[in-house]
């Protein structure tokens, strides 16, 4: 079974600053996907960024980038130039890319507050 | 249209009531999901439909009954719920069963009294 660990229950960052959210996972699989989802107070889960395990290059999406360390099973999210709208719960998630893979395994989440 | 629409947004029901949650998407996605999310916890998978057939039931009690009438709609029928079933119920869809591009709705906040 896979497990996803987010060791920071809460974090805060000043507007325009950079913050890094940590995530580690445990799996015996070699092919999988990793995700960061954002859940603002509006409740909708929004995909922030996705990383395929076979790709060595770290994924980036505008102000969001990841540091994927496959050997260390680490998948941290860096948010640059933080904005008030980034205030949300952030969930790291794992999915096995094998056949019949439906389930996202989520970490417990990190509550991020962006301070004006 | 990249939306997953869930109705109602809020629902309060008694333990003897029967109600239904509705989820709709028009992105042509062939996989749809129900998740349950308790406060300050991550979502937990309940059911997966792939091509309108139930693929996964994560040992969910029978008082929750999913239904997929067509490729755009997913319902969750509720009957004889318990107060501990109060939670946010999230629907999601993805192009295929490997949900690397899952889109979530805003959820239905359910309170059982």
Name the closest residue on chain B to residue A42, using Cα atoms: B106
Residues B27-52, mean pLDDT to the nearest whole number:
93
Q: What is the pLDDT of residue B57?
A: 84
Q: Do A44 and B42 touch (CB under 8 A)?
A: no
With beta carbons under 8 A apart, name residues in chain A contacting B109.
43
User: How many Å lie between the alpha carbon of B67 and the closest alpha carbon of chain A?
Assistant: 18
d(CA B10, CA A34): 31
**8 Å CB contact between B104 and A46:** yes
Query: For B30, which DSSP code?
Result: -
pLDDT of B58 over the 80 cut: yes
Chain B residues contacting A via beta carbons under 8 Å: 31, 33, 40-43, 45, 48, 50, 55-56, 88, 90, 92, 97-107, 109
Token couple for A32 = 């999988």
**8 Å CB contact between A69 and A25:** no
Residues A75-103, mean pLDDT to the nearest whole number:
89
Q: Compute CA distances A37 → A17, A73, B7, B103, whole Å.
A: 20, 18, 22, 11
Tell me the pLDDT tens digit for each residue of A6-57.
Answer: 999 999 999 999 999 999 999 988 889 999 999 998 888 999 999 999 988 9
Token couple for B87 = 């939670």
**β-strands A88-96, A24-26: how paired?**
unpaired
pLDDT of A115 over the 70 cut: yes
């Amino acid at each position: 079974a896979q497990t996803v660990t987010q060791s920071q229950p809460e974090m805060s960052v000043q507007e325009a600053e950079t913050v890094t959210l940590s995530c580690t996972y445990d799996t015996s699989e070699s092919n999988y996907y990793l995700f960061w989802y954002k859940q603002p107070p509006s409740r909708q889960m929004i995909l922030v960024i996705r990383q395929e395990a076979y790709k060595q290059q770290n994924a980036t999406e505008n102000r969001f980038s990841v540091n994927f360390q496959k050997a260390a099973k680490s998948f941290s999210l860096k948010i640059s130039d933080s904005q008030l709208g980034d205030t949300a719960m952030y969930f790291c998630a794992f999915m096995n890319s094998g056949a019949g893979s439906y389930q996202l395994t989520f970490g417990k989440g990190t509550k991020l507050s962006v301070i004006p | 249209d990249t939306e997953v629409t869930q109705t109602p947004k809020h629902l309060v029901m008694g333990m003897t009531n029967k109600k239904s949650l509705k989820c709709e998407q028009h992105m042509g996605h062939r996989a749809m999901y129900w998740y349950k999310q308790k406060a300050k916890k991550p979502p937990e998978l309940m059911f997966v439909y792939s091509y309108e057939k139930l693929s996964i039931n994560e040992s969910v009690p029978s008082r929750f009954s999913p239904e997929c009438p067509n490729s755009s709609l997913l319902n969750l029928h509720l009957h004889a719920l318990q107060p501990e079933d109060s939670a946010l119920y999230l629907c999601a869809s993805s192009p295929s069963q490997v949900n690397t591009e899952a889109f979530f709705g805003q959820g239905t906040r359910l309170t059982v009294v």
